[in-house]
Amino acid sequence: MTSKMASKEKRTVLVTGGCGFIGSNFVRLLLAERPHWSIINLDLLTYAGNPENLADVAENPQYRFVQGDIADPALVRKLLAEEVWAVVNFAAETHVDRSILDSGEFVRTNVLGTEKLLAAALAAKVPRFLQVSTDEVYGSLGERGAFSEEDVLAPSSPYAASKAAADLLALTFCKTFGVTALVTRSSNNYGPYQFPEKVIPLFITNALADQPLPLYGDGLNVRDWLYVEDNCRAILRVLEQAQAGSIYNVGGGHEMTNLALTELLLDALGKPRSLIRFVPDRLGHDRRYSLNCRRVFRELGWQPLVGFQGGLERTIHWYVENRSWWERVRSGSFRSYYRTQYGDRLAEGKGLETGSGKPAEAEPRQPEDRRADG
Ligand code: NAD
Ligand code: TYD
């Protein structure tokens, strides 16, 4: 079915984790592009979930928010009884550093929660289930190569392991029970409403507050950056057009080192590079992520529309204009997390002149070059 025809149909979609970063951008995109659809947003409102992220659409009659847990079968069963056409599962614990501090909640939500959601979708015969996975399930690359969808999963962090388990559970529910499960594995997203524990919003907000930017290790780890709206468009395309059991890599095609990214952010904000602190590395820190996205290009005709420069400008502008949003988010429990995560690190940190190119007490695992076909 073409997406034009689908756009006229009335459908109900259960979006989980819709009060988080990507989920809230996705809900907004659906309300704009599929105005006949009804959206139920099931979100537990953990520290990362914020109803303010969707305040502008809260009164839309096509949108409904339900506070609750994806791991609560009775609640999920009740919601799925409303003739839900699709589940899009964004709900997760999502921060690698927090999973290193304590992995329990990652297993509970990401693995058990996804399993319960899949079981409920199977029982209710929901026609489609899209699991939002990540490029981190593949593990780390060296300087060359890119992961394709057939590559072996080799996660490095408890976060990535829990996402790999959820990803595989979705695919096995397809093979074993016939659930029309679909999986997207995207690269690092950036854009408005991202919780300021992740590197781009953390560094923007620290710089705006004239606080140091803690760069892990030698700052030369590489990430591929994807503007959040582009990812949301890819997810919608996969949801409407993909075959049961299919997996799609979704990348921004813009790789850069963390150091280059940090310098770009500081320059754009007009802040000095002396704010950079090289701090002891993240444990198990993946050196590089890169995705081969030929499948989503060829089969679904998706392409990222937002260039990195433009996307970063929009993102910076959003954080500059929404200072009260991030000041609220950075108060309360975020402060104690920040002390635990960065207190000792910043005490050991070095500035750009002394630190550049040298890990500050890093013990990085040697990254393997897992694929070399680029
Ligand atoms: P986020 O941390 O901003 O939001 C997660 C949301 O899930 C929050 O609103 C939270 O309240 C909710 N949630 C957590 N546990 C829940 C539970 N048990 N029941 C219901 N809701 C619960 O995350 P994000 O960055 O928007 O990521 C969304 C999804 O995309 C995640 O599955 C993540 O693994 C995946 N992903 C993210 C990125 C990225 O760069 N941010 C990249 C690839 C994949
Ligand atoms: P992050 O935003 O946590 O995303 P992910 O771990 O999912 O890639 O981190 C992106 C990169 O930035 C990663 O290489 C780790 C690095 N980083 C820092 O150098 N300092 C920080 O304070 C954070 C949060 C991340």
Q: Which DSSP string corresponds to 280-346?
A: PPPTT---B--B--HHHHHHH-----S-HHHHHHHHHHHHHHTHHHHHHHTSTHHHHHHHHHHHHHH
Residue of 365, 263, 359, 269 whose CA lies nearest to 316: 269
Classify residue 110 by its DSSP letter: I
Q: Does the beta carbon of 30 lie inside 6 Å of ligand 2?
A: no
The pLDDT value given to residue 364: 38
Residue of 169, 160, 150 whose CA lies nearest to 295: 150
Query: For the packed helices 258-269 and 199-208, what is the interaxial angle rounded to 10 degrees?
Result: 30
Residue of 280, 231, 243, 226 whose CA lies nearest to 24: 231
Q: Is beta strand 188-190 parallel, antiparallel or unpaired with respect to 255-257?
A: unpaired
- The SS3 of residue 209 is coil
Ligand 1 pocket: which residues have CB below 6 Å? 16-17, 19-23, 42-46, 48-49, 69-71, 90-92, 94, 109, 113, 132, 134, 163, 186, 188-189, 195
| CB distance 28 to 54 below 8 Å | yes
| CB distance 147 to 211 below 8 Å | no
Atom of ligand 2 nearest to the CA of 199: 2
The pLDDT value given to residue 8: 72
The protein residue with its alpha carbon nearest to ligand 2, atom 11, reads 199
The pLDDT value given to residue 9: 81
Q: How far apart are CA 131 and CA 117, in angstroms?
A: 10
Strands, E assignment, 160-253: 181-186, 188-190, 213-216, 222-227, 247-250
The pLDDT value given to residue 354: 52
Domains present along the chain, CATH in parentheses: 3-353 (3.40.50.720)
Residue of 171, 75, 182 whose CA lies nearest to 127: 182
What average pLDDT values come out for the chain (374 residues) when binned by 10 residues? 59 98 98 98 98 98 98 98 97 98 98 98 98 98 96 98 99 98 98 98 98 98 98 98 98 98 98 98 98 98 98 98 97 95 94 55 41 37
Mutate to test the pocket of ligand 2, among 200, 202, 211, 223 (most ligand atoms within 8 A of CB): 223
Element (H, E) at 251: none
The pLDDT value given to residue 65: 98
Active-site residue identified among 136, 218, 224, 281: 136
What spacing in Å lies between the alpha carbon of 260 and ligand 1's midpoint? 26
The pLDDT value given to residue 373: 38
Q: How far is CA 347 from CA 131, 219, 221, in A?
A: 40, 17, 22
136 is catalytic: yes
pTM above 0.85, yes or no: yes
Strand partners, 299: none
| Structure-token pair, residue 155 | 């996660």
Active-site residue identified among 63, 69, 151, 159: 159
The pLDDT value given to residue 292: 98
The pLDDT value given to residue 156: 98
| CB distance 318 to 192 below 8 Å | yes
Q: Does the beta carbon of 114 lie inside 6 Å of ligand 2?
A: no
| CB distance 225 to 262 below 8 Å | no
Ligand nearest to the Cα of 355, by number: 2
The pLDDT value given to residue 352: 79
Mutate to test the pocket of ligand 2, among 216, 254, 262, 315 (most ligand atoms within 8 A of CB): 216
Q: How far is CA 233 from CA 199, 236, 301, 310, in A?
A: 23, 5, 11, 17
Q: How far apart are CA 41 and CA 150, in angstroms?
A: 32
